[in-house]
Amino acid sequence: MPKGAVNIAIIGTGVIGAGWATHFLAHGFAVTAMDPGAGAESRLRDWIDNCWPVVERLGLANGASRDKLTFTTDVRAAVRNADFIQESGPERLDVKHSLIASIESAARADAIIASSSSGLAISEIQAGAKHPERIVLGHPFNPSHIIPLVEVGGGRLTSPENLARTMAFYSSTGKKVIRINKEVKGHIANRLQVALWQEAISLVQRGVASVEDVDAAISYGPGLRWALLGPFLNLHASGGAGGIRHVLQHLGAAQREWARDLGTYPETDDYIESIAKGVDTELQSYDFPEMLHQRDQLLIQLLEAKRNLSQIP
């Protein structure tokens, strides 16, 4: 990032784009958001207003203000003075290419374009770009104004310098940045999630457990540990004095047998209705919007606690 850069452009203001806008405003940047959808501006401003108490609790940077938000329906106007451009358009390659072309028609050549793409390869997104070396992956996680993780990676034509600039910039805004060294579909965290979802769906479809019990198995079991330490460190802790070497040597054969019994992801959409009905049943006794509000409060408490523990990565 250029020294003292403060101008951020957000292209697309759906759930992810709105979260990015809230995050950058909370860190003191001037944000120009662009979305051509009817009513997009009012939805965005309402979203930011509703989320502002959350980012206030997480801690506002000097100069943070919702008044630093500008809205436009014109891509070129949004990016003209931007130092950093966060593209959060629909997950379609043709749409990404169209957005990149519009962005590059007005943006400075040194402005980084970071795509929030959840699975598309940057090499595909940057194809045909005038300055492909400045197009990077900057994939956040919902709710993106709370969850710190952002995955950064480049395509075949992305420059190492721009990858380093992007990682440094995100880190300066409080994000936990991880580097993708090799392009794969779905990146890192989404692939890990899909592996779990695959088996969760299979267990329900095979009649092993209900949707509600599968959710409880994670949220009241390993999910509690995963919120603090990752899978490898948790395995290391499970091995006692022998650490991860011991637990893998001890359980390796059993784990290979379990792995061979894992279900596969459904090849058709026939499973969707049964899973959706299971979720509806699970939610019968709950107010889902209030559930999400309470989830966010717990996320904040957890992040605050982790921040004060020096031996939790």
N- to C-terminal Cα separation, the chain = 26
Considering the domain architecture, whether residues 237 and 199 belong to the same structural domain is answered as yes
Show which of 180, 214, 242 is a domain's final residue.
Answer: 180
- Distant-in-sequence, close-in-space partners of 158: CB < 8 Å, separation ≥ 6: 122, 126, 132, 133, 134, 135, 136
Q: Are 44 and 13 spatial neighbours (Cβ–Cβ below 8 Å)?
A: yes
Report the alpha-carbon distance of residue 152 to residue 11 in Å, rounded. 18
CATH of the domain at 106: 3.40.50.720
Q: How far is CA 172 from the centre of its chain?
A: 17
What's the pLDDT at 313?
87
Residue 52 domain-assigned (yes or no): yes
What's the pLDDT at 5?
56
Q: How far is CA 217 from the centre of its chain?
A: 23
CATH of the domain at 264: 1.10.1040.10
What's the pLDDT at 3?
45
Q: What's the angle, vertex CA 231, arms to CA 188 and CA 163, rounded to 5?
A: 30
pLDDT tens digits, residue range 211-269? Answer: 999 999 999 999 999 999 999 999 999 999 999 999 999 888 899 999 999 999 999 99
Q: How far is CA 40 from CA 13, 46, 71, 73, 245, in A?
A: 7, 10, 9, 9, 53
- Distant-in-sequence, close-in-space partners of 81: CB < 8 Å, separation ≥ 6: 7, 32
Considering the domain architecture, whether residues 15 and 150 belong to the same structural domain is answered as yes
Considering the domain architecture, whether residues 207 and 162 belong to the same structural domain is answered as no
Residue 313 domain-assigned (yes or no): no
What's the pLDDT at 56?
96
Q: What residue ranges of the chain have pLDDT lower than 50?
A: 2-3
Considering the domain architecture, whether residues 206 and 288 belong to the same structural domain is answered as yes
Considering the domain architecture, whether residues 221 and 80 belong to the same structural domain is answered as no
Show which of 148, 180, 212 is a domain's final residue.
Answer: 180
Report the alpha-carbon distance of residue 122 to residue 115 in Å, rounded. 8
Domain range for 25 is 7-180
Considering the domain architecture, whether residues 194 and 168 belong to the same structural domain is answered as no
Report the alpha-carbon distance of residue 200 to residue 67 in Å, rounded. 44
The two three-digit tokens of residue 313, written as one number: 């990565």
pLDDT tens digits, residue range 51-69? Answer: 999 999 999 999 999 999 9
Cis peptide before 143 (omega within 30 of 0): yes
- Counting every residue written for the chain, the total comes to 313
Considering the domain architecture, whether residues 61 and 23 belong to the same structural domain is answered as yes
